Structure 1
Amino acid sequence: MKLMTLAFKSISNRRASVLLTLFTIAISVMLLLSIERVRQEAKQSFSSTISGTDLIVGARTGDIQLLLSSVFRIGHANNGLSWQSYQYIKQQKGVAWTIPISLGDSHRGFSVLGSDGSYFKYYRYGNKQNLAFSQGRPFHNAREVVLGSEVAKQLHYHLGQKIIVAHGMGNTSFHHHDDNPLIVTGILAPTGTPVDKTVHVPLKAIELMHGPKHGSAQIMRQKSNSDAQHDHEHEHEHEHEHEHEHEHEHDKHHEVIDSQLGDLIGQPKQITAFLMGFDSPLYTLQVRRNINIYKPEALSAIMPGVTLRELWGMLDIIEKILLLFSAVVVLISLLGMLTTLLSSLSQRRRELAILRSVGARPRHIFTLMVSEAVLITTIGCAIGVAMFYMAILIGKGILQAHFGISISISMLSNYELVLLSVIMVSGTLMGAIPAVRAYFYSLNDGMSIKV
């Protein structure tokens, strides 16, 4: 215990060089832990985005491209598939459910996804979790829209609000569908997946926005007639004061709560892709083979789990490079500590001789030098962990907003603790090198320095 106190006082007397060493070790630890946490969370985020889906079907393209465009909203599909092919394939034996997906529009930088009621019923994420609503309900007709949690949060949208969808992906919008405003009827609970950053509309709404003008004019006329009829009833009830407030509240929320069920699909010519679930894995393999040799049009059917493993296999070399880069940074910081201890060793020979004069043995000198290295490494790791959590706290919003990676602020994992242990052991070994030299200096010098 006395040696540890002496070691602490010794490094305090050399605070300038020690602080620089601590800073380099802390930076390297923060970098190593940050890279590992982002790598693990990115893989977890990708893996949990879709669950319980047996096949994803789209126009013939690369498996990874189809997965990224249809599920992760990364890139875009070059072509779509015909609605007739979708209807034919969904009727195959063993098909339990299907979810049609139409992409291509956006709203203020967020992707717009067209589908039908099966999306909210069958889509799974994480550990086969269902989509849940934090507010409202699914859309019932072509004039309604459901928002992901991040969309509603960042744009400050609420139930009953009207929004305008634009044609074009991302922040690039080529045409705003001002004649087809959609009413927000639901906001999904957070999932930590691209669903949170998606605007969900019925397929019928996509058709109306991209179809002939008379389609949109018709729906607007229906809206106008409905509003006119409602206003007439409102005036009639105005004579009865006790019913006036009730009717006013009904007028405020009637589009959100009391909207009638309508056509969600329409007559689309094509869709971007569709998800499939089967009654048995045997049907999955059989239908996948039939889709890949489907003659009316060139289609691809991929298994999400298999394609994800292929994706991580391609990125494996990048993960290894990142890990190597982090290890090199840690090694450089430890070598800096070694250099600092070695450079100060010659200047401390008189100090070591004085310690010998008061009864210290060579093994005490060795232990003192090792203790200094352990202290520097431990303090550097502690500061690095604190900086790591600060970096997560600051950067988690940026990663979620720009890359869709949800980083959790949690305790260090076993793997991360192993990395810290390796750094601690390496620091101790680095400290043993100057400690061995100090041991022999102590033996040679005795209680006085030989000049």
Structure 2
Amino acid sequence: MMTLTGLAARSAWSRRYNLLLMVLAIALSTALLLGVERVRHQLRVSFSQSVSGTDLVVGARASPVQLVLATVFRLGGVQHDMSWDSAQRIAAHPLVAWTIPVSLGDSHRGFPVLATSAEYFRHFRYGDQRALELAQGKPFQAVFEAVLGAEVARRLHYRVGDRIVLSHGDTDGPLAGHHDHADKPFVVTGILAPTGTPVDRTVHIRLDGMEAIHLDWQAGTPMPGLSIPPDQVGKFSLVPEHVTGVLVGLKLRSRVFALQRDIAGDAREPLMAVLPGVALGELWQIVSIGEKGLLLMSALIVVVGLAGLASSILAALGERRRELAVLRAVGARPMDLLVLLAMEGILLMLAGTLAGYLLLTALSIALAPWLEASLGMALPVAWPHASELPLLAAIIAAGAIASLLPAWRAYRLSLHDGLTPST
């Protein structure tokens, strides 16, 4: 057997360029599979960690998923706003450590505008309890100042000091420009670092800024004959009457259900308090079709790679019939040939899988700055995690099975067939 192994090794060396191409094809398939799997995992993590450290999301009683979509993902809207008085009562509750009021409804060139308070920059967390960081400038301080998410600034080419005009509602089409607050522009004072969350796609302003641009509006349209210039808005009350919702952090997280009951039982206004993790879990079930699509793509990548492996070995088998016959002539049994070719396929899969992992690692390191800056996401450089190990094992096992077909053909080749091949 050792003699046969040595002969097989010499044969492999004589075919090293073809085998190298096979290993490269397997490496690319493995790198694509692991890359898609890690992107899928990162998308799920990014989705579930769009907000962290927030114990409750409070809003008017309606759909919990709808409330989370609006307050966390800035998508859609809520049926009813909650009153500012209720937001103040929640902030003063003895179990509450901090609150972040949020008000939505306006937009800027297709990006949502979020009106909030300075508490947003102090207490909002995403990912693994990561705080928001400013890549440039500083948080808003005056009424007509804005802080942009990373994607807003990148796609619209804004810098600190630029002036922007907000639009009433989410108008971004033929009606854009007809619902602008052009008489009250905002100055960009800061640009946030990428987070990979909806924060990147958001224009942040103060609550009183949202009130100021609507002083001379009624029922969604400007009031005829009335125009209040920016330098005169201070003469009016800019305290909001309503907000979309409130993000709440508790002093003791163990009291979350007690506060939830208190809010739900408040007779002054019908409110609900939603656990973000529970609502995000329900929401993921709705959008998980995209995850299933990525899984299907991963499976197709593996099938293509294995088909390439089997076809390459089968194509090479026709050229090796005389070589296999010589091995038979020096004493190799048909079973020995089957084992040798199967081992060759397995070794090719092992080498290709290892090369694919190293290739993905190198790409992750090289592309990390670009991915972080452009998408707010990075492929982690780490040992294969638990969900990837079954995939790697399945690749190697499938490669071994794929190599059995050419090995079986070699097993059935007769000595005479190899020495006198047909032309």
Q: TM-score, normalised by structure 1?
A: 0.74
Which structure: greater helix fraction? Answer: 1
How far does the alpha carbon of each residue in 1:26-57 deviate from its partner, in whole angstroms, 9 at most, with x for none? 67545533431222111111232211111001
**Is the Cα contact below 8 Å between 1:203 and 1:264 reproduced in 2?**
no
Letter in 2 for 1:7: A
Q: Give matches, 1:135-146, under 5 Å.
A: 135-146=136-147
The one-letter amino acid paired with 1:183 is V
Tell me what 1:310 maps to.
282
Hey, what's the Cα distance between the residues in 2 that align with 1:64 and 1:55?
13
Q: CA deviation at 1:70?
A: 0.8
2:384 to 413, 432, 447: 413
CA distance in 1 between counterparts of 2:78 and 2:131 reads: 26
Q: 1:343 to 1:282 in 2, by over 3 A?
A: closer
- The range that moved more, 105-114 or 310-319, is 310-319
RMSD: 4.1
**Kept in 2: contact 1:116–1:264 (CA 8 A):** no
What count of residue pairs does the alignment treat as equivalent?
Answer: 405
The amino acid of 1:219's aligned partner reads P
Indicate the residue corresponding to 2:196 in structure 1. 192
Q: What TM-score, normalized to structure 2?
A: 0.78
Identify if the C-alpha distance between structure 1 residues 405 and 43 changes in structure 2 by more than 3 Å, giving closer, same or farther.
farther
Alignment check: 8 A CA contact 2:183 2:230 kept: no
Query: For 1:326, what is the secondary structure of its paired residue?
Result: helix
Q: For residues 418 and 372 of structure 1, what CA distance do their matches in structure 2 show?
A: 22
1:219 aligns with 2:224: no
Aligned runs of 1:64-143 on 2, under 5 Å? 64-143=65-144
Following superposition, the deviation at residue 8 of structure 1 comes to: 5.5
3-state DSSP of counterpart to 2:104: strand
TM-superposed CA distance for 1:212, in Å, is 1.6
1:266-277 → structure 2 map (5 Å cutoff): 266-277=238-249
Determine the C-alpha separation between the residues in 1 that align with 2:373 and 2:73: 13
Q: How far, CA to CA, are the matches of 2:122 and 2:226 in structure 1?
A: 28
Instruction: Give the aligned partner of residue 288 of structure 1.
Output: 260
187-196 or 374-383: bigger deviation:
374-383
- Distance in 2 separating the partners of 1:41 and 1:405: 11
Q: Is residue 38 of structure 1 aligned with residue 39 of structure 2?
A: yes
- Secondary structure of the residue aligned to 1:267 is coil
Counterpart contact for 1:55–1:303, Cα < 8 Å:
yes
Does residue 1:203 correspond to 2:203, yes or no?
no
1:248 matched to which residue of 2?
none
Cα shift at 1:62:
2.1
Percent identity reads 40
Alignment check: 8 A CA contact 1:80 1:270 kept: yes
Out of 413, 427, 438, which is 2:410 matched to? 438
SS of equivalent residue, structure 1 residue 408: coil
| Counterpart in the other structure of 1:353 | 325
Change (3 A) 1:294 1:8: farther
Q: How far off is 1:276 after superposition?
A: 0.7
Give the direction of change, closer, same or farther, for the CA distance of 1:82–1:193 in structure 2 (3 Å limit): same
Structure 2, unaligned runs of 5 or more:
1-5, 218-224
Q: Give the whole-Å Cα distance in 2 for the aligned partners of 1:98 and 1:184.
A: 25
Deviations, residues 212-234 of structure 1 (Å, cap 9, x unaligned) = 27997343358xxxxxxxxxxxx
- Say whether residues 1:183 and 2:187 are aligned partners: yes
Paired residue secondary structure (1:330): helix
Distance 1:43 1:361 in 2: 52
After TM superposition, give the deviation of residue 117 of structure 1 in Å. 1.4
Change (3 A) 1:450 1:343: closer
Residue 424 of structure 1 is matched in structure 2 by 396
How far does residue 274 in structure 1 lie from its aligned partner after superposition?
0.9
| Further displaced range: 72-81 or 195-204 | 72-81
Match of 2:11 among 6, 11, 15: 6
Structure 2 residue identity aligned to 1:204:
D
What's the counterpart of residue 149 of structure 2? 148
The change in CA–CA distance for 1:298 and 1:308 in structure 2 (over 3 A counts) is: same
Per the alignment, residue 235 of structure 1 pairs with none
C-alpha distance in structure 1 between counterparts of 2:45 and 2:235, whole Å: 37
Distance 1:388 1:314 in 2: 32
CA separation in 2, counterparts of 1:331 and 1:380? 15
Partner of 2:220: none
What corresponds to 2:221 in structure 1? none
State the Cα distance separating 1:431 from its structure 2 match. 1.3
Q: CA deviation at 1:289?
A: 1.7
Task: Tell me the secondary structure at the aligned position of residue 112 of structure 1.
Answer: strand
Runs of at least 5 residues in structure 1 that lack an aligned partner in the other structure: 223-261
Note closer, same or farther for the CA distance 1:398–1:187 as it changes in structure 2 (3 Å cut).
Answer: closer
**C-alpha contact 2:361 2:381 (8 A) present in aligned 1:** no
Q: What code does the residue aligned with 1:150 have?
A: E
User: How far did residue 67 of structure 1 move?
Assistant: 1.3
CA change 1:417–1:2 in 2 (3 A) is farther
* Counterpart secondary structure, 1:167: coil
Cα distance, 1:295 vs structure 2: 3.8
Change (3 A) 1:423 1:437: same
Deviation of 1:180 (Å): 0.7
Distance 1:98 1:393, change over 3 A: same
- Cα shift readout 1:89-108 (whole Å, capped 9, x = no counterpart): 33223121111101121222
